[in-house]
Amino acid sequence: MLTNVNETYNDPKKLANDYVHDVYKQLKVRNPDEIEFLQATREIFDSLRPVFMKNPHYIDHGILERITEPDRIITFRVTWEDDQGKVHVNRGYRIQFNSELGPYKGGIRYHPSVNLSIMKFLAFEQIFKNSLTGQPIGGGKGGSDFDPKNKSEREIMRFTQSFMTELSKYLGPDKDVPAGDIGVGRREVGYMAGQYNRINGGFEPGVFTGKDPNYGGSLGRQEATGYGTVYFAEEMLKTNDLSFKGSRVIVSGSGNVSTYAMEKAIELGATVIACSDSSGYIYDENGIDVETVKQIKEGSGERIKTYRKYHETAKYVKGCENIWSLPCEIVLPCATQNELDEHAAATLIQNGLKAIAEGANMPCTQEAIELFQEKGILFAPAKAANAGGVAVSAMEMSQNSMRLNWTAEEVDEKLKEVMKNIYKSCVEAAEKYGHTGDLVVGANIAGFLKVANAMVSHGIR
């Protein structure tokens, strides 16, 4: 540990500041090129100063040093053959970051941008998110730089089988339980589960979540992240005398999280005026029809541009950045990390934005978040707002071990309850540590405390 605790105990503020500063400095030296990982840790570190002021024993236990170093990082070669018989090699990852509260839990991402920094940032965020759900799950994440775009179904299957052949060694219902993420949905989870079962010589229902309900998936899992984001946002809006009803909403992306966020926002009376994919966005001030978006996305290789074929009043704009120049009251960024920067934030604020809830992981840059908060825009951070997906994944794990299935209505009721509780925990933690109304600080502290206490209980190791 870098800080001399005994000398500075009589100045808790200095002790906390020095500790956070020193550990972050060391983290930068050890992980110099991991931009996204450093961005995610920095945001948490900034929030935790008041915790170390009140609870210096966490410093004695080296909690920050330990919580920022993954339990283990697994990287491996994934070799597969395309439909023409050409051999390809991709890199696979699984970050088993922290298992203090339960088995590692977090999705698998297939995207060409996947690298160690992105995997570590996602797994690190997952620790706190999973803790916030109140469920017994630790934090992990995995994926590959494999690009599923323009690949046939058979190529995706062969890639996934090769990926799982190596990864299966490290998984288990009480050890590490992956799910989907960008580029990985029910179909890919099916191929993973199939290959895992083949390797292990039998059917094991509890190793993956986000499965098809036909063979052990939970009803409501597909909808959970998007719905949960809207439930969380609705709580935040309600306490500030606002609502989705009658509001104009922009949702970025048009994948799993975006689609169901749109669906729920519309159900609550909002008009979703725009959504996107990585090539461009569609805009219709009369409202986007979510059923058409779903149909387009179910078609193989279809882009959001196709929407105009079905709704001629909609406009299509090439490139995604300008989606944030449309006037609206609520924004739900549901596509990817760092998709909304401070320039976009300034434009949105100028155009009358009232609230923003992050459906994607870390979609807003640190500068954008600071600007939203400075200008009094309601801000719901990802690790709280999008925790509904993993919360229902944990419910899927419970159903699998009990060998029973809950109805979609039961799952949705439980999801609503979880999102309300997360909102309450964030509000209370922010208030207790002197940052009333700041959900970023509240989420970070509430998520951190449970994990830190478990680390203390488990001893220094």
Catalytic residues: 141
In the complex with ligand NDP, which residue's Cβ is closer, 258 or 271?
A: 258
Strands 104-110 and 138-144: parallel
Query: What torsion, rounded to 10 degrees, do the Cα atoms 175, 63, 40, 143 define?
Result: -20
Q: E-assigned strands of 2-161?
A: 72-81, 87-98, 104-110, 138-144
277 binds ligand NDP (CB under 6 A): yes
CB of 47 closer than 8 Å to CB of 445: yes
The 10 Å CB-count burial string (b at 16+, else e) for 228-249 is bbbbbbbbbbeeeebbbeebbb
Nearest approach, Cβ of residue 150 and ligand NDP (Å): 11
The continuous run of DSSP H or E covering 343 comes out as: helix 342-350
Query: Cα(41)–Cα(59) distance, rounded to whole angstroms?
Result: 17
The only residue of 127, 167, 296, 360 in contact with ligand NDP, by rule CB under 6 A? 360
The only residue of 56, 139, 205, 389 in contact with ligand NDP, by rule CB under 6 A? 389
User: Minimal CA–CA distance to 65: which of 24, 36, 16, 35?
Assistant: 24
257 binds ligand NDP (CB under 6 A): yes
DSSP 321: G
Query: Cα(319)–Cα(156) distance, rounded to whole angstroms?
Result: 27
In the complex with ligand NDP, which residue's Cβ is closer, 41 or 254?
A: 254
Amino acid identity at 206: G
155 binds ligand NDP (CB under 6 A): no
Nearest approach, Cβ of residue 399 and ligand NDP (Å): 17
Residues from 400 through 459 that contact ligand NDP (CB under 6 A)? none
Question: Which one of 1-9, 270-278, 422-430, 446-454 is the stretch in contact with ligand NDP (CB under 6 A)?
Answer: 270-278
Long-range contacts of the stretch 195-200 (C-beta < 8 A, 24+): 195/160, 195/161, 195/164, 195/165, 195/168, 196/164, 196/168, 196/171, 199/164, 199/165, 199/168, 200/168
In the complex with ligand NDP, which residue's Cβ is closer, 320 or 443?
A: 320
278 binds ligand NDP (CB under 6 A): yes
In the complex with ligand NDP, which residue's Cβ is closer, 84 or 150?
A: 150
In the complex with ligand NDP, which residue's Cβ is closer, 408 or 456?
A: 408
Site string (309-348) toward ligand NDP, x via CB under 6 A:
-----------x-------------xxx--x---------
Nearest approach, Cβ of residue 114 and ligand NDP (Å): 11
The residue with its CB nearest to ligand NDP is: 255
Nearest approach, Cβ of residue 166 and ligand NDP (Å): 22
Tokens of 97: 């970051």
Long-range contacts of the stretch 306-309 (C-beta < 8 A, 24+): 307/282, 308/282
**How many residues in the shown chain lie near ligand NDP by CB under 6 A?**
26
In the complex with ligand NDP, which residue's Cβ is closer, 53 or 446?
A: 446
In the complex with ligand NDP, which residue's Cβ is closer, 20 or 184?
A: 184
Residue 425 CB partners (closer than 8 Å, separation 6+)? 132, 442, 446
In the complex with ligand NDP, which residue's Cβ is closer, 18 or 36?
A: 36
Gyration radius from the chain CA atoms: 22
Question: Which one of 95-103, 151-159, 197-205, 250-258 is the stretch in contact with ligand NDP (CB under 6 A)?
Answer: 250-258
Strands 280-283 and 271-277: antiparallel
Residues from 168 through 227 that contact ligand NDP (CB under 6 A)? 180-183, 225
Question: Which one of 97-105, 197-205, 273-281, 429-437 is the stretch in contact with ligand NDP (CB under 6 A)?
Answer: 273-281
Nearest approach, Cβ of residue 66 and ligand NDP (Å): 25
229 binds ligand NDP (CB under 6 A): no
CB of 346 closer than 8 Å to CB of 371: yes
> Contact residues for ligand NDP (CB under 6 A)?
180-183, 225, 252-258, 276-279, 320, 334-336, 339, 359-361, 386, 389
